[in-house]
Every structure is written in C-alpha cells, then in structure tokens.
Structure 1
C-alpha cells in the first residue's frame, strides 16, 4: 500500500475561510494539482468498483488549530486524488486520524478497498 504525502493544508482551504473567491480559487486549484501529482507519484491504485477507503492522518505543525476543522480543508485534496485515480470521489469513505504535532506538518493518505 502506498502513502500519499502532502504538506499540511492551510486554513484558507476551509469552507469557513474569509476572503475574495478568486484568491481561494487559485489556492484550491494549486492543492488539487498537488494531490493529483502526489497520487501519481505514489502509484496509488483504486479498486475497480465499490467503496474506496481513504485514510487520512493529520500531522499538524502545531497545537493552535481545531482538529474538528481539519477535514474541511480536504475537498481539493480529495478531488485531486479522485482525478488521478480516475474515479468519482463519491466512492470515497474518508477515515481520519490525528497525530501529535510535528513541524512542518503533513498529511499522510492511504487508499484501499472497503472491507
């Protein structure tokens, strides 16, 4: 099983983020692209059919953020992974784990079939 590793996503990706839509759109596009490239580099594969378990481990850079908001930052990441796998992201069943902070922070994502 391969691990897709990405930097820790910024709060600007959250649905609650304030600011002009154009700036957020550029940030969203960048993260979607990064996730696509990282998925291809990890040579991740999806099962041909059925649900796909997406296990996300959040390793935050510090203790300042609210863990309940971390999943809100993942939409462009999951979209990029789905693009790279050639699947619709509605098949994803996300599972979240929260690790102790480590600088600079990261996401560790594994993909697998549902059991």
Structure 2
C-alpha cells in the first residue's frame, strides 16, 4: 500500500458559484497535482481518496469535490477513471482548524475477485 499526501483545499463543486474560468483553473490545478504526486501502479488496485478538512461533506458532495483528484490519479495510472480494474473509495476525516489536504492511498489487489 502506498500513500500520497497533497496540501490541497478541496471544496464541493456542486454548490460552487465561481466563474466557470476560475472553476476550470482550480480543477486543472488539482488534477495536475494528483498526477504529479502519484506514480504508476500495477492493476487491479484499490484507490482511496481521503479529504482532510475541519468540516465534512455529504456523500455526493464528497465525490464531486474529489473528481479532479480522481482524474489525475487515473491519468497517472494510464486509464480512464471508469476502468473496472480500479475500485474507487472515498473517505473524509476532520482536521484541525485551517488544516486541509487530500490523502491518496493505492493498494494492490492480491486476488482477481478483489
């Protein structure tokens, strides 16, 4: 199992009222950061994306907030993010005030059935 830590502040994209260009810049920066921070792994694998923040999000907002991160990891793995060889999991944990980040954990599947 390999763990990567990114000092990113992820927010819910579903309720975001920023200008489209600002949203695009943020998504591009998050995707690139995830790509640069990780390395290629053997497939199949399980990828867990954990959001660290003083506040929490509900399930659909959590997944939306991590979309660019997921895309960057998929880019690094050389796959489309809907590839069935990768199982995507989402988690979140509370951080201290003003503590933000993303923890990416990639674990190899030892069995074909996961």
Please state if 1:5 is matched with 2:1: no
RMSD, matched Cα: 2.1
Please state if 1:101 is matched with 2:92: no
Q: Are the equivalent residues in 2 in contact too, given 1:9–1:74 (CA < 8 A)?
A: no
Structure 1 unaligned spans of 5+: none
How many equivalent residue pairs? 106
Structure 2 unaligned spans of 5+: none
Higher helix residue share: 1
Deviation at 1:5, TM superposition (A): 1.2
Deviations 1:32-67 (A, max 9, x none): 110000013xxx5131xx5x421122221x13x434
What is the TM-score with the length of structure 1 in the denominator? 0.76
What is the TM-score with the length of structure 2 in the denominator? 0.76
